[in-house]
Structure 1
């Protein structure tokens, strides 16, 4: 019976959540009386504290006013004294009539003055034209910006003050200012000199003066700052002032040199709250005593209330629980008795379901908002006795009929003796999380489908070469083992950088792959590597076939070039052969006549040998040019390419009456290329240029070689002619295969030339020559040490 009565009392307490507390009226009045006495005592303490603080604040204002006025008087008298001392020293600092300074005397006088007046950081002697003709800097407190001799004063306020000094012959001082990257306040003091053409300009560190004045007056507990027209001179002072809005402040006018100006300069003194009661300890003791009395009263009241509440402990605990549950706005809470009857729901629970508490109270399982019966699942979780029971997710329905995803967590409700009173459940609307989880699963499914349908082989490996993941493309070629991926990665690591674009050949599968590797972090934070191997066997076979076809076309083109130059080459060979015949015939004739001496015989043989060597070099050059070789990119000298090409080009030039000029930039670097191919490319362009200028008035062809200004790692070859030029329509198709501007041409020469340029990593282009003609240019990369 006692247990049932306790449960009934708890249920009644939850149902009467919005009613007044059932505490006896006598106890309630006693509590009110105790708190009323405490409030009156606290009010008296607060009033007394405010009176004491106000009195202390007024006294502090008077002390601050006196201290600020004393600091202002000290600053004004110090500035006035500095001005008088400058005027006395001006005789030794000014420039004499012959344009020279009394160097030793001036330097000693300026140094002595700045040592005596440490606030003077620099002195400058200035003319009427605002030119600095002499400058001194303090060694005690050097300034950041020194006025240089020969410089002009540009500050508007300073130049105006200098002009007034020349007119009135009295001392002037500029408004306050700061220098860049400093937190110091300066002013320029201008005093006349015995010379009507010169004045002294002294930069005065007012911040140092202010610090000295404060230290001298023993007012270190106050803070003084400069104001001009009510605004802070230093930005740092403004930021510090906003941190103490309740501080005591007093502003005193600062009149420098005894004259007022358009700019209102003041000194703002501030006394912070921590300075109050610093001199008079009586208020501190008074407030402390009253605080102790209040603490004792509070302790007594707390003891009395503890005794009063001892008999109502259970009711107070239940009331606190009801308040905590009712004020919760994060999760929906419901309380049921041991039979599952709902005896309480909070506002959040009502908002989640969209109904009133009266619609839910008294319901038993299955509840009306369940779309599926989860009673058995909840019983299993409660019987398991897990201190942190698993949440149950289910579909719920609001009063409006809307269906949503819900999650409930149950916990037993027990009294202080461990007896079960019922259960408390927390309801969450997890629709957003459920939909997000479904979207993630759908996205994962789509991603898996995409990855599995890729033609490329995709694999994820750990640092220890463990296979984390592989798609079907990988498994089709390499199986479910990591051996294939490890083999490709090892081959990629040993493959030279320049051959990466050609792909990687796997001997095990006899296929070509384009392999890409990227580091990534796997699902549990492990470091992993993503490998994507794309099968490029078909493309690579086409490239190999194309390269072979290009080599055959290049060899054919070289033979065609030799055929086109055959008559010129025959003429070139005929000259040494005819000379050999003439020398041999002449020697034979002299031998028959008996006039062939040993000296003449030696001369004839030497000339025959020279002509034979000349003919052999021509034939060797033709064979080297026409010989079919595979492309091999290696270091090539520009001078050698030009020399070998010009040996053949000059033969054709003599036939076509063309004049070749060479313009080589100095200190050209070594090229990266195939020497024979570069000679073929340059010779083709020269041959075309010679044919173009054959019928022109200007037969000069210029070959210019220089580095590109924008790309220093490229060298540009230019073949410049002054022929008829090439139209824009022909330029668009000029490099196409089988297109030619000549009736007898095959249309393959420039196409092969472009292929050779692109094989070297360069480009072949055409522009118009100023004054008429065409300029063909191609680029070749510089040798960097890598093939």
Structure 2
């Protein structure tokens, strides 16, 4: 039995698990090693791809399941939201139906309430009141309502689906929704029938028509429509509203490995009747890879990297010697081939000894066609031979400027391009000059861009010089003028004084430089000049006495080409426009004065009658006192009493005359803080003369504690007097009985569109305004009276709008009968902090209330 050395177990313990693999690899031939080195990375990469595909397939299935749950959840949420929205609207409409059945709403109020409900619920496009005999009593339709469903007043509900639903609501006394059906060329409509019940009796039906497109637009959340194709369908599955894509169309566009289409459909409650909401989702996204797959990818990636590194190391040893031999040549050749600049070498006699690929690409000539050539070279244009020979002589003599020279180059196809040459001496390894190295770049495109920029600048300058506005640009904090067009130079010269004068006259505040900015740093450093172009332009109208012109001055800040903060001023001559505006204001004032004179002329007989009473009383008192004094039948006390009565009558006559004189006196508009009570009382005092002449009673209400107004009292009195006079004429023309000959004046504070205003309302019991007259009511020189001039209401409206107010007129109805007319105008309440009297009011443009 042989003896085992004692050190054998120690050597066995030193062996690692990788030792057999190393011995097996050492026994392989180099060819087999190369084969395994190539196949092993390929096998690892294939295994890696299989693992990745498996992981993606697993994640895809998980994503499809999660997306299906999300579709079901979002469609159920959409259905619940639509249900709550329709139920809320149904409750509001049922409350409206109860008011109709309890006779709390008249026909005239139905349209007003219907318009309010349509504005509140944009899905509703029509409301119709149908009585118990299936006859339409009143109907309100929006402009977007489908014409095929219109029901007019007096129509009977025809024997169709509407009539069927009407009978069902009458029999069940419950709200009934119609069954919507998709029409090929018509928008789908959903009808809701609400029975009108009065003491358990059927009194009619309130028909509400919904636009299914509007229900979809306002009821479906926008965040869901961006994720799914949500749509409404009828009982037959036809599309009512929304966007959807059929599964057959999706299958034609989906790839075999894309996720399947997930869809979910639910009935729309409380509508029912086969109407469903359907959600379609076909977009999926990849989820997060699980930890097991992540580590699997990491292990496979490590194996692939290790095998590739081993293969790279083995290959590197084999080509190391070859790399050492060709490295220098390959490097230099790569540099020559990658250069975009054309390189050309000349010897001391001017012969071409070398050209690179870029030079050949530029000229189109091959290397063998250029090397060894002397002047004239093939790429010289024929017409430039003399100039280029001289340039070549200067190049060989070393007299070329460092900035290079520019010349034209002819390609092999006889086309020309611009080039720039830079010349430097060619020094060999021993420090001797063996020739000249020339670099050439194509500058055709830069020249073209430079020419275009020059032409664009010329056009821009031509346009600015031809403008009829003065344009100037100057830096902030400096008297330098950066730019000025022709008109500026004509007005102000070439200095920045005119620019600064315009800025000062326009009231634009200038920054004040501090002591901290006296160094070389710009005082305006740090300002956001990159956002200056987005700032709105400031505008002002100024008058320059030196020019005798009105100018509209617009200023804005900009970042100049050198980065400095500058200010541009554009001044436009508006003298002609200002003169026209002033003439227009003078004509308007004359028209207002003429209107007051005309009004007084029309009231002349009434004024004479009004003055006759105090004058007659004065005459009677004087005659009586004379008779009793002559008969010596009067005491001192009786004489004093008679004289006091005479004085009161004379004071009354003087007041009437003074009021008329102040009303018709021509004066400039003068806005002051006016007391509303005094203003109304003075207007009523003048109007009562006309009212008494026409036997019309005036009832007025002025709310207590009225705030003051910043107005011209005479102009507002003119508006009130004109409206009261027109109201009296309307009552008199309508021949109303004595008890109904009434004009009402109401003045009270109100709030309209968030503004605090004073509301003046003048209503009469006359014949109202015809519809064809209502459209031309405020048109100048249009009147329905034979002797009318047609400027009264037009001036009234202009006066109200000049006080930042608005005015409207509407007829008063009792059922379907017109019982009068109501004119209302609103004047904004003066702000106590900013209300200061002004001599002249600027014109304003306001939107007049309908």
TM-score under structure 1 normalisation? 0.54
Query: Distance in 2 between the 1:277 and 1:326 partners?
Result: 37
Residues 462, 619 of structure 1: CA spacing in aligned structure 2 closer, same or farther, 3 A cutoff? same
Separation in 1 of the partners of 2:797 and 2:379? 79
Q: Does the residue aligned with 2:669 lie in a helix, a strand or coil?
A: coil
2:367 is aligned with 1:323: no
**Per the alignment, in what secondary structure is the counterpart of residue 532 of structure 1?**
strand
**Do the aligned residues in 2 keep the contact of 1:354 with 1:398 (CA within 8 Å)?**
yes
Provide the rounded CA distance (Å) in 1 between the counterparts of 2:32 and 2:476. 72
Aligned to 1:689: 727
Shift of 1:542: 2.9
656-665 or 526-535, larger mean C-alpha shift = 656-665
Given that 1:661 and 1:700 are in contact with CA atoms closer than 8 Å, whether structure 2 keeps it comes out as: yes
For the Cα contact (< 8 Å) 2:403–2:422, is it kept in 1?
yes
Summarize the Cα distance change of 1:513–1:48 in structure 2 as closer, same or farther, 3 Å threshold. Answer: closer
Which protein shows a greater Rg?
1
Q: Give 1:696 deviation, angstroms.
A: 0.6
Aligned to 1:444: 457
Task: Give the C-alpha shift of residue 518 in structure 1.
Answer: 1.8
Say whether the 8 Å CA contact 1:576–1:614 is kept in structure 2. yes
Partner residue of 1:630 out of 663, 668, 671 = 668
Per-residue displacement from partner, 1:494-537 (whole Å, max 9, x unpaired)?
89xxxx99932111222211111122222212211211111122
Q: In 2, distance between residues paired with 1:390 and 1:396?
A: 18
Are 1:480 and 2:490 an aligned pair? no
Whether 2:779 is the aligned partner of 1:735: answer: yes
Is 2:539–2:553's contact at 8 Å kept on the other side of the alignment? no
Is the CA contact 1:405–1:430 (under 8 Å) kept in the aligned structure 2? yes
Query: Deviation of residue 557 (structure 1)?
Result: 2.8
Match of 1:537 in 2: 575
Match of 1:493 in 2: 507
**Distance change >3 Å, CA 271–CA 712, structure 1 → 2:** same
Structure 2 Cα separation of the partners of residues 674 and 459 of structure 1? 42
Residues 588, 275 of structure 1: alpha-carbon distance in 2 compared, 3 angstrom cutoff: farther
1:35-434 to structure 2, matched below 5 A, reads: 239-241=287-289, 248-249=292-293, 271=295, 317=328, 319-328=330-339, 331=340, 333-338=342-347, 341-343=351-353, 345=355, 349-354=359-364, 356-371=366-381, 372=384, 373=387, 383=398, 389-390=402-403, 392-408=405-421, 414-415=427-428, 419=433, 422-428=436-442, 430-431=444-445, 433-434=446-447
- Corresponding residue number in structure 1 for 2:121: none
1:43-80 CA-to-partner distances (Å, cap 9, x unmatched) read 879979999xx9xxx9xxxxxxxxxxxxxxxxxxxxxx
Distance 1:773 1:481, change over 3 A: farther
CA distance in 1, matches of 2:352, 2:756: 84
Question: Are residues 1:552 and 2:595 paired?
Answer: no
Conservation of the 8 A alpha-carbon contact between 2:473 and 2:567: yes
Counterpart of 2:557 in structure 1 is 519
Worse-matched range after superposition: 342-351 or 422-431: 342-351
| Gap change, CA 1:597 and 1:667, over 3 Å in 2 | closer
The more displaced of 566-575 and 586-595 is 586-595
**Deviation sequence 1:268-310 (CA, Å, 0-9, x none):** xx647779999xxxx9xxx99x999999x9999999889x66x
In 2, Cα distance between equivalents of 1:749 and 1:358? 100
Distance 1:380 1:704 in 2: 103
Q: CA RMSD in A?
A: 5.4
Return the alpha-carbon distance in structure 1 between the equivalents of residues 744 and 800 of structure 2.
20
Quick one: distance in 1 between partners of 2:717 and 2:309?
Answer: 104
Deviates more, 1:508-517 or 1:364-373: 364-373
Corresponding position of 2:96: none
> Structure 1 residues 41 and 708, CA, compared in 2 at 3 Å: closer, same or farther?
same
The question of 1:471 aligning with 2:482 is answered no
8 Å contact from structure 1 (residues 653, 660) kept in 2: yes
Q: Mark the CA change 1:627 to 1:590 in structure 2 (over 3 Å): closer, same or farther.
A: same
Query: Are the aligned partners of 1:718 and 1:778 in contact in 2 as well (CA < 8 Å)?
Result: yes
SS class of match (2:670): coil
2: CA distance, partners of 1:627 / 1:350: 97
> Is the 8 Å Cα contact of residues 745 and 762 (structure 2) preserved in structure 1?
yes
Kindly provide the CA deviation profile for residues 182-225 of structure 1, in whole angstroms up to 9, marking residues without a partner as x: xxxxxxxxxxxxxxxxxxxxxxxxxxxxxxxxxxxxxxxxxxxx
> 2:763 & 2:429 partners in 1: Cα distance?
105
1:677 deviates by 1.8
Which residue is equivalent to 1:653?
A: 691
Q: Among 794, 799, 803, which residue is 1:756 paired with?
A: 799
Q: Is the 8 A contact 1:726 1:774 kept in 2?
A: no
CA offsets 1:717-775 (integer angstroms, 9 cap, x no match): 555553463563795496335x5444434454445445434544556666666527666
Instruction: State how far apart, in whole Å, the 1-side matches of 2:800 and 2:539 are.
Output: 17
Within 2, Cα distance between the matches of 1:416 and 1:549? 98
SS at match of 1:514: strand
SS of residue in 2 equivalent to 1:337: strand
Q: Is the contact between residue 755 and residue 828 of structure 2 (CA under 8 Å) also seen in structure 1?
A: no
Asked whether the equivalents of residues 472 and 499 of structure 2 are also in contact (C-alpha less than 8 Å), the reply is: yes
Q: CA deviation at 1:586?
A: 7.0
Q: Aligned in 2, Cα 1:324/1:752: closer, same or farther, shift over 3 Å?
A: same
Distance 2:800 2:723 in 1: 12
**Equivalent-residue separation in structure 2 for 1:322 and 1:579 (angstroms):** 129
Tell me what 1:680 maps to: 718
- Aligned counterparts of 1:681 and 1:294: Cα–Cα separation in 2: 101
Alignment length, in residue pairs? 530
Q: 1:49 to 1:483 in 2, by over 3 A?
A: closer
Query: Aligned in 2, Cα 1:294/1:332: closer, same or farther, shift over 3 Å?
Result: closer
Quote how far apart the aligned CAs of 1:636 are: 4.2
Q: Distance in 2 between matches of 1:378 and 1:704?
A: 103
The residue that corresponds to 2:830 in the other structure is: 783
- 1:493 is displaced (CA, Å) by 0.4
- Per the alignment, in what secondary structure is the counterpart of residue 482 of structure 2? strand
